[in-house]
Amino acid sequence: MDTTAGGTPGATRTGRGDGPPQDPGTVRRDGGGVTDAVGIVVLACCAVWALVAAAGRPARPEGALLALLAVAAGYALGRILGALLPVLAPTAAVTAVLALVLVPPTRLSAHPDAPPLGYPNADAALLVLAAGAACCAAWATRGGARRIALHAVGAGAAVTALALGSAAGFAAGAAIVLCSLAAARARRRLPGLAGLALAAALVVGGSCAVATDTLPPGLSQSLTGQLTQPRVELWHQAVTLAAHHPLRGVGPERFADEATPSSELAPVAESPQSAPLQLAAEQGIPGAALLAAGFCWLLTALWRSPRPTPVVLTAAATLTCLAMLATVDHVLSYAVVTAGAGFLAGVATAHPFTAEPLG
């Protein structure tokens, strides 16, 4: 096997001898263009179906289209900056998020309108992405001290989410840091990606089971207590709407118009606080299926990424944690969060122009 000048095992030269060393857990990415084309098709189908679901009714597809535009723009920016600045780009993103959260003097006062997004769980989702970006930057840099420092920044982002009052955000951030540290020993990325896909499927399946009352009574009551009864009632209404309108749903952003209020005094929530159930209710089963297809494409793109395996698995763990949060809350309703997810995915699938450490 042809090795680099330093004789490092597992780091092979490219055909011209001037490219970055290849990750042992990474295969040749000759079909990367096909993967990108599939992603474009999936995003286009999501946009077209949102318009189809809105046709002929007083629906508002602008929110769905804005979310798709944010994902696409963030992904493109991540691919560009990830190729030019594989360490600095995610580090700068982490710095920006922490500055937005910590600099305002009243940010940690639990005031509902505090910046940057005015919703603690959405801010916690941003911090989850920041934790993942810090850990990705750690594996893209050289030197043990820098890696420890960046992992510490990721842990700090998780603790900040807890300070905002989001225990789920803290748990997600802590899980990302632990997964990132464990990724250093991973020789192959496919088993890890498959495990993350299974975890996301279990969470989505569990939320659907709660929404349809198919769990055993004791377990259902326990989960309802943790998720809160009002949220579970919204999930019930989303399932009912999806069952009555399985093909096109009730139309984008029409959940509040079609759902039944829980009482005369309480207004109907704008969303069922669950991305899969919201799409099922508003865009029918095809809308929810396209969301699943987008997540599967994302994991496939990470599997085919030329980045080192620890970077890929860290990004996959981060995006999976975000998907889990989106299953039980409406954090994807914020364009900044969807753009951040696209940016991280772009950074983790970029083709850096400089050689990277293998882990």
Confidence class for position 7, pLDDT limits 50, 70, 90: very low
**What pLDDT is attached to residue 356?**
78
Confidence class for position 357, pLDDT limits 50, 70, 90: confident
pLDDT of residue 354 exceeding 50: yes
* Phi-psi domain of 4 (left: phi exceeds 0; alpha: psi -120 through 50; beta: other): beta
Instruction: Give a yes or no: residue 181 inside a domain.
Output: no
**What pLDDT is attached to residue 1?**
41
**What pLDDT is attached to residue 117?**
73
pLDDT of residue 215 exceeding 70: yes
Instruction: Give a yes or no: residue 183 inside a domain.
Output: no
Q: What is the pLDDT of residues 134-153, one digit of tens each?
A: 999 999 998 899 999 999 99
* DSSP alpha helix (H) spans, the chain: 32-54, 62-84, 88-102, 120-140, 144-163, 167-182, 190-211, 217-227, 229-244, 255-258, 275-303, 309-328, 335-348
Structural domains counted in the chain: 1
Instruction: Give a yes or no: residue 201 inside a domain.
Output: yes
* Rounded-to-integer distance, Cα 253 and Cα 271, Å: 8
Q: What is the pLDDT of residues 249-293, one digit of tens each?
A: 999 999 988 987 665 445 567 889 999 999 999 999 999 999 999
User: For residue 160, what are its two tokens?
Assistant: 């900040």
Instruction: Give a yes or no: residue 244 inside a domain.
Output: yes
Instruction: Give a yes or no: residue 132 inside a domain.
Output: no
pLDDT of residue 92 exceeding 70: yes
Instruction: Give a yes or no: residue 318 inside a domain.
Output: yes
User: For residue 260, what are its two tokens?
Assistant: 């039944």
Instruction: Give a yes or no: residue 82 inside a domain.
Output: yes
Q: Closest Cα to residue 266, out of 238, 229, 240, 241?
A: 229
**What pLDDT is attached to residue 90?**
97
Q: Closest Cα to residue 295, out of 207, 209, 200, 177?
A: 200
Residue 217: CA count within 13 A, CB half-sphere: 0
Structural domain of 194: 32-104+189-348
Instruction: Give a yes or no: residue 148 inside a domain.
Output: no
